[in-house]
Structure 1
Amino acid sequence: MTTTIAEQLSTVSLYERLGASAGIRRIVDGMVDAHLENPVIRARFQPYLNDPERVEEIKRHICAFFEMRAGGPGPYRGRCMVEAHRGMNIAEAEYVAAVDDILGTMRALGHREEERAEVLAMLYGLKDEIIRV
């Protein structure tokens, strides 16, 4: 029995289709760069620019979380989304701006609409854990 390309892709995890750890790291690097340029949310990220070690730590946590949610092999040992965003009073407009940055980064990196749609669904599944005003 032969399988179609669509059937083969459906058995490959999102993690693998995003390029595994290296591909997710490229998304996270681009996302952080986009956040720093985005007038809606850049003020939240600019204070970290003077602490490159903290920026790297944040990126590692985001990568590990993203990998876990995308079906990657490693466990995530960081804080849950509620704890990670507690007290930040993130508005919906900020959340949407961050999501747009992530999807724009993925588009710029050449990720297909299917992967972007899966990531969008993943991100919107986290919305109520992040927006807590």
Structure 2
Amino acid sequence: MADTIFRYPFRNFFLDHPPIFREYYGSTALLDWIESPTAHILKINVPGFKKDEIKVQIEEGNVLHLRGESLKKENHGKEIVWHIAERGNGKEDFSRMIELPVDVKLDKIKAHIENGVLTVIVPKDSSHKVRNINIGSRL
């Protein structure tokens, strides 16, 4: 709810919460976000998608947008009657938007897909380290 009231760029100023996640189309793309000392690693379940059906883009500065569009049209003929279709029987889309931290190298992001899992590696920018300032008695 708060995300609909406070829009970028004021969202992080007024709200102290982790980066935002936005889903569209009743997304079924489940996500794990792991942080190592050198990178953020995102693992997204995308079973049945091929790499050319998935787009990984950076939008609005530091928002990672993951999109998938699969055309799984199974032709079983006119004599087939569907009783239950829980796995989907047509076009299934997903879209996830993730606001990344500011200490990342956006130009070095890599992604690959294997066994129905899309892995996105977002390297950290090591130049954003804390720097101590010496305190003197006069300027």
TM tier, smaller: under 0.3
Q: Higher strand fraction: Structure 1 or Structure 2?
A: 2
Q: Higher helix fraction: Structure 1 or Structure 2?
A: 1
Larger radius of gyration between Structure 1 and Structure 2: 2
- TM-score, normalised via structure 1 length: 0.22
By relative contact order (CA 8 Å, sep 6+), the higher-ranking structure is 1
- TM-score, normalised via structure 2 length: 0.21
